[in-house]
Amino acid sequence: MQEKILILDFGSQYTQLIARRIRELNVYCEIYPFNHYPAPDENVKGVILSGSPYSVRDAMAPYPDLQQVKGRIPLLGVCYGAQHLTHNFGGEVLPSNTREYGRARLVEIDNEDPLFTGVTPGTQVWMSHGDTIARIPDGYRITGSTGDVKVAAFRIDGEKTWGIQFHPEVYHTTEGARMLGNFITNICGCRGDWTPESFVEMTVRALREQLGDDRVVLGLSGGVDSSVAALLLDRAIGDRLTSIFVDNGLLRKNEYEAVLEAYRKMGLNVRGVDASAEFVDELRGVSDPEKKRKIIGRVFIEVFDREAHKVQNVKWLAQGTIYPDVIESVSVNGPSATIKSHHNVGGLPDKMHLRVVEPLRLLFKDEVRRVGRALEMPGEILHRHPFPGPGLAIRILGEVTPDKLSTLRDADEIFINGLKSNGLYDKVWQAAVILLPVQSVGVMGDERTYENTVVLRAVTSTDGMTADWSHLPHEFLADVSNQIINRVKGVNRVVYDISSKPPSTIEWE
């Protein structure tokens, strides 16, 4: 059976990072709110308590019920988790005189302790807390200290419980991965056999069981998530999956044909639907970005629903939802306010009265790519930059017209092809051209022009939540600018966006 680790979330911004680190060790783990987690069965090899923005001394401090865990299976408290294991079990946690924040050195380590096997004395760790453990309960033993923090790490004698006041999951804790690895391997005894291949095998089996002989529809977007979801379902149920790829008229140049062709080559049972006229029609006269998004979302649902009804006996709607969306909606802090209207087709399941199947709901984005690789997905889909559901409509500031779409497509093609032919495409997380509703004066030959400006945008990022502008070579930018101005009618000025996110977003609308 699939061994796993449970992570109980107390609301720390780093909880997801703990999960990622553990999965990097090829061990499967799941995150649950501290007050709502399943009773551990024999597959649960250990439990980790995350950090928290709360103080254990607050009246409202999150208080987990650990009766089924503590003293029964391996337990590791991180930061707040460690303070909880102290404060509520006979020790004392007090406000620290100096807020303990940032880098520190673990000058004293008990290397006999299985959590610290092979960890270098003096190794850098990263602290972030306003409280500190002042006194440990009887039966606890200090296993690590920094210059300022006596109880940086402890364990409880006679049970498999550990606590550390620093964050092993963050990059600044140099040997954090080793410590988590020690916990997972030495203490929990995990085998570490969770790989993309094993995920595929397990998921295909589970999908067959779940879906039986039913038929399923899925909306393909050209992006990685929906494509990987489709491949997994294709493995499980073959042509009982019908994938629908809608041309909303807002795609890049030749994208619809190229992507449809790629899907067919992958053996998917896919239907292409050219609904471009419908979308462009509905967008006429609309300049407000949120209104544009809403219209595109609504028309997509209408088109998809119409097409899906042409498939007989459909019982399920498959979606490419991934883990960050799932955690966000169940997290301790509740659905975060930052959830964008990006979830373009959120209304689809309600409208269609279908049951929803989400084969990727437990994966992080980079894991989706690894699974895609295991499924032998072609590189042109696997390494494709993210592309927003509303497509070029949010890259044309103001009203969307067929002329503007055509101008933007031509400029975009030059930029993207340039990135590819100069070996820069994979170094950039996302690239786009934006068409501004701004004209400026130029000269071409002997003539004065009064034409449009386009913006080149390229960013590096890991998840799109934060991003930096890509430092593309000047010669490359010069070449792209020349090509656009010479070849794209109606554009006489090209600028490069050098803003990072935050505060600037990746898209301009």
Tell me which residues are annotated as active site.
79, 167, 169
In the stretch 352-391, what mask flags binding to ligand XMP with x, by CB under 6 A? ----------------------------------x-xxx-
Closest CA to 207 of 37, 355, 348, 366: 355
3-state SS of 211-270?
A: HCCCEEEEEECCCHHHHHHHHHHHHHHHHHEEEEEEECCCCCCCHHHHHHHHHHHCCCCE
Instruction: Compute the least distance from the CB of residue 244 to ligand XMP, in Å.
Output: 17
Tell me which residues in 320-349 interact with ligand XMP (CB under 6 A).
342, 344
DSSP 40: P
Which class for 228: exposed (0-12), middle (13-18), buried (19 or more C-beta within 10 A)? buried
Q: Which residues contact 302 (CB under 8 A, 6 or more apart)?
A: none
Tell me which residues in 460-489 interact with ligand XMP (CB under 6 A).
464
Amino acid identity for residue 7 in this structure: I
Stretch that binds ligand XMP, among 22-30, 41-49, 168-176, 498-506 (CB under 6 A): 498-506
Amino acid identity for residue 443 in this structure: V
* Contact yes or no for 209/22 (Cβ under 8 A): no
Is residue 292 near ligand XMP by the rule CB under 6 A?
no
Is residue 505 near ligand XMP by the rule CB under 6 A?
yes
Q: Which is nearer to ligand XMP, 294 or 373 (CB)?
A: 294
Per DSSP, the three-state class of 327 is helix
Sign of CA dihedral 254, 260, 264, 266: positive
Q: Which is nearer to ligand XMP, 5 or 283 (CB)?
A: 283
Q: Which is nearer to ligand XMP, 184 or 467 (CB)?
A: 467
In the stretch 394-433, what mask flags binding to ligand XMP with x, by CB under 6 A? ------------------------------------x---
Q: Which is nearer to ligand XMP, 195 or 505 (CB)?
A: 505
Tell me which residues in 293-322 interact with ligand XMP (CB under 6 A).
293
Closest CA to 82 of 10, 157, 190, 189: 10
Instruction: Compute the least distance from the CB of residue 507 to ligand XMP, in Å.
Output: 3
Q: Which is nearer to ligand XMP, 105 or 501 (CB)?
A: 501
Q: Kind and range of the H or E element at 9? A: strand 4-9
Is residue 507 near ligand XMP by the rule CB under 6 A?
yes
Instruction: Compute the least distance from the CB of residue 434 to ligand XMP, in Å.
Output: 11
Q: Which is nearer to ligand XMP, 241 or 506 (CB)?
A: 506
Helix 365-374 crosses helix 196-211 at what angle (to 10 degrees)?
A: 90
Residues found near ligand XMP in the complex (CB under 6 A): 293, 342, 344, 386, 388-390, 430, 464, 501, 505-507
